[in-house]
């Protein structure tokens, strides 16, 4: 579970910016149940204000933890993306830190029998090397060092295994120690848990992405009946007109014909393809249609459904950039609601998303979509630096109309549109337009 993350000198995040997911108003928790972190966080703001860069900072951490070992090259520093509008930023390090709650376990009564342990992991890097890297755990709320690295000098905790020290001897200066220790299987529980969270419990999806017939068929084929049943329910609830989903495998004749057109090596690996058909209700019964016969919004919903289903089933943290892309506010609110309720989200999965849709700040179909402590805003200053701040900075009342107040500019984070400049631009005419 993600408690917080912060980053500095990454893309438009020049100064350190932080997202806190610990609840401010505990009594407003999902189904009145107190959670250790909010299950949803939404980031609002105008175009080019840095919403995507906030999410990208966390995903950059994931890429580094997962790939720094195999992506490293001798004599080259780590790849990073410092703030580009100030040449001095290239000479400054970039920093990334997460706070995680790991190791929670549920018993047969669906209650957390083990509360979990907080872990803080972070690293600082420049164009040449990993400048600093550290991991601390907090068993019984007491800070315990696992390791703290300054360049190639390591400081070990009193409980750290001696095997970690032998791993440190082979870690290059441009590679994260956590990545090597976890892959070497010499790491202790804290290292394995943090690595597992980044590589298996943190996922990302852009809903505007769509799936081909082959991709969708393969996805449904390996996801099982539980996902297919859940998808059918979601599509019916979303009023897409889809009554059922059918998975059709190509015939043996079609398969052999397709395989004959492949190279010898590809032919040996070929498997029968599956096509997904969506049955729509019509005047004379149901009619099967392919995925590209569906609207862009329905395709986006289908593409997003599997990451949502997987996160809810596993208790993962899901990152979605532009949740509202091609989705009606009712659909976005419905997906958010799946994470808000302990009934549909018993494993405390989390959804962190960006959006332009101000409707999600208010009530939809009579229900509040987001709590006050689940709302964040981004805006840029005159130098293109992103500032991230929570709605709670404004001490909002529980009953205030947040959508209207936001659109009225009470919280900032709205675009500044210069009408005179727009009109002047439209009024400009080329020298030959009069003759057109």
CATH number of residue 383's parent domain = 3.40.50.300
State how beta strands 285-289 and 367-368 pair.
unpaired
Q: Are residues 93 and 174 in the same domain?
A: yes
The DSSP-derived string for 318-341 is: EEESSTTTT--HHHHHHHHHHHH-
Give pLDDT, residue 161: 75
* Selected residue with higher pLDDT from 257 and 364: 364
Contact in structure between 335 and 325 (CB atoms under 8 Å): no
Q: Are residues 238 and 372 in the same domain?
A: no
pLDDT at 418 over 80: no
Q: Are residues 157 and 70 in the same domain?
A: yes
Which of 432, 375, 424 is CA-nearest to residue 24?
375
Give pLDDT, residue 259: 60
Pair of tokens at residue 6: 């912060």
CA distances from 384 to 49, 85, 141, 295, 378 (A): 8, 7, 39, 36, 12
Tens digit of each residue's pLDDT (9 = 90 or more) over 13-54: 999 999 999 999 866 655 545 568 999 999 999 999 999 999
Measure CA 28 to chain center: 24
- The DSSP output letter for 347 is T
Sign of CA dihedral 38, 44, 49, 53: positive
Q: Are residues 144 and 240 in the same domain?
A: no
pLDDT at 118 over 90: yes
Tens digit of each residue's pLDDT (9 = 90 or more) over 54-95: 999 999 999 999 999 888 787 789 999 999 999 999 999 999
Answer whether residue 314 is part of any domain.
Answer: no
Q: Are residues 37 and 168 in the same domain?
A: yes
Answer whether residue 405 is part of any domain.
Answer: yes
Q: Are residues 261 and 367 in the same domain?
A: no
Weakest mean pLDDT among 147-156, 178-187, 239-248, 252-261: 252-261
SS3 of residue 435 by DSSP: helix
* Number of domains into which the chain is organized: 2
Give pLDDT, residue 25: 82
Query: Whole-angstrom Cα distance, residue 141 to residue 116?
Result: 11
Give pLDDT, residue 261: 62
Which of 349, 325, 326, 322 is CA-nearest to residue 337?
349
Tens digit of each residue's pLDDT (9 = 90 or more) over 129-179: 999 999 999 999 999 999 999 999 999 998 877 788 889 999 999 999 999
> Rounded mean pLDDT of 194-217?
82
Give pLDDT, residue 429: 60
Picking from 263, 280, 296, the residue at the C-terminal end of a domain is: 296
Average pLDDT, the chain: 88
Answer whether residue 89 is part of any domain.
Answer: yes
Answer whether residue 308 is part of any domain.
Answer: no
* Selected residue with higher pLDDT from 243 and 110: 243
Answer whether residue 365 is part of any domain.
Answer: yes
Tens digit of each residue's pLDDT (9 = 90 or more) over 299-347: 889 889 999 999 999 999 999 999 988 889 999 999 999 999 999 999 9
Weakest mean pLDDT among 96-105, 112-121, 202-211: 202-211
Q: Domain of 355? A: 1-207+321-430
Q: Are residues 248 and 391 in the same domain?
A: no
Label residue 315 left, alpha or beta by phi (over 0 means left) and psi (-120 to 50 means alpha).
left
Q: Are residues 19 and 111 in the same domain?
A: yes
Answer whether residue 302 is part of any domain.
Answer: no
Tens digit of each residue's pLDDT (9 = 90 or more) over 369-412: 999 999 999 999 999 999 999 999 999 998 999 999 999 999 99
> Rounded mean pLDDT of 210-236?
83
Give pLDDT, residue 38: 96
Query: From the CB of residue 138, how many other CB atoms can be counted at a distance below 10 Å?
Result: 14
Answer whether residue 112 is part of any domain.
Answer: yes
Q: Which helix (H) or strand (E) holds 389?
A: strand 386-390
Query: From the CB of residue 71, how many other CB atoms can be counted at a distance below 10 Å?
Result: 15
Q: Are residues 186 and 334 in the same domain?
A: yes
Answer whether residue 41 is part of any domain.
Answer: yes
Picking from 296, 331, 364, the residue at the C-terminal end of a domain is: 296
Q: Are residues 216 and 201 in the same domain?
A: no
Question: Which pTM does this prediction carry?
Answer: 0.89
* Selected residue with higher pLDDT from 346 and 273: 346
Q: Are residues 64 and 177 in the same domain?
A: yes
Pair of tokens at residue 253: 């004749």
Instruction: Name the phi and psi angles at 269, rounded to 5.
Output: -90, -10
Which of 20, 36, 21 is CA-nearest to residue 348?
36
Which of 368, 402, 192, 224 is CA-nearest to residue 309?
224
Give pLDDT, residue 210: 64
Q: Are residues 73 and 62 in the same domain?
A: yes
SS3 of residue 131 by DSSP: strand
pLDDT band at 233 (very low <50, low <70, confident <90, very high): very high
pLDDT at 353 over 80: yes
């Amino acid at each position: 579970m993600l408690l917080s993350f912060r980053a500095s000198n990454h893309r438009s995040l020049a100064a350190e910016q932080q997202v806190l997911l610990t609840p401010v108003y505990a009594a407003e928790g999902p189904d009145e149940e107190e959670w250790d972190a909010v299950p949803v966080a939404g980031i609002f703001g105008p175009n080019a204000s840095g919403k995507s860069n906030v999410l990208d900072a966390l995903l950059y951490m994931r890429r580094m933890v997962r790939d720094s070992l195999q992506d490293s090259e001798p004599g080259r520093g780590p790849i990073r993306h410092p703030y580009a509008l100030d040449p001095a930023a290239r000479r400054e390090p970039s920093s990334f830190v997460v706070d995680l709650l790991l190791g929670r376990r549920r018993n047969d009564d669906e209650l957390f029998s083990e509360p979990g342990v907080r872990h803080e992991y972070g690293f600082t890097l420049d164009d040449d090397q990993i400048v600093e890297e550290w991991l601390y755990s907090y068993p019984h709320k007491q800070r315990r060092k696992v390791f703290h690295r300054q360049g190639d000098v390591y400081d070990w905790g009193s409980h750290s295994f001696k095997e970690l020290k032998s791993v440190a001897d082979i870690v290059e200066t441009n590679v994260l120690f956590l990545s090597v220790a976890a892959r070497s299987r010499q790491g202790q529980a804290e290292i394995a848990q943090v690595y597992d969270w980044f590589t298996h419990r943190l996922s990302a999806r852009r809903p505007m992405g769509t799936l081909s017939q082959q991709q969708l068929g393969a996805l449904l084929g390996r996801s099982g009946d539980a996902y297919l049943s859940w998808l059918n329910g979601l599509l019916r609830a979303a009023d897409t007109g889809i009554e059922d989903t059918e998975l059709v495998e190509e015939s043996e004749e079609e398969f052999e014909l397709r395989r004959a057109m492949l190279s010898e090596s590809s032919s040996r690996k070929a498997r029968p393809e599956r096509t997904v058909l969506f049955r729509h209700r019509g005047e004379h019964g149901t009619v099967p249609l392919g995925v590209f016969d569906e609207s862009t919004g329905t395709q986006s919903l289908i593409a997003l459904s599997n990451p949502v289903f997987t996160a809810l089933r596993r208790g993962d943290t899901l990152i979605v950039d532009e949740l509202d892309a091609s989705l009606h506010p009712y659909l976005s609110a419905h997906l958010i609601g799946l994470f808000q309720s302990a009934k549909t989200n018993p494993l405390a999965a989390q959804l962190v998303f960006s959006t332009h849709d101000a409707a999600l700040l208010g009530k939809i179909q009579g229900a509040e979509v987001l709590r006050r402590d689940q709302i964040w805003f981004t805006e840029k200053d005159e130098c293109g630096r992103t500032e991230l701040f929570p709605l709670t900075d404004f001490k909002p009342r529980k009953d205030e109309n947040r959508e209207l107040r936001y659109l009225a500019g009470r919280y900032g984070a709205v675009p500044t549109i210069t009408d005179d400049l727009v009109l002047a631009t439209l009024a400009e005419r080329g020298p030959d337009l009069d003759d057109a």
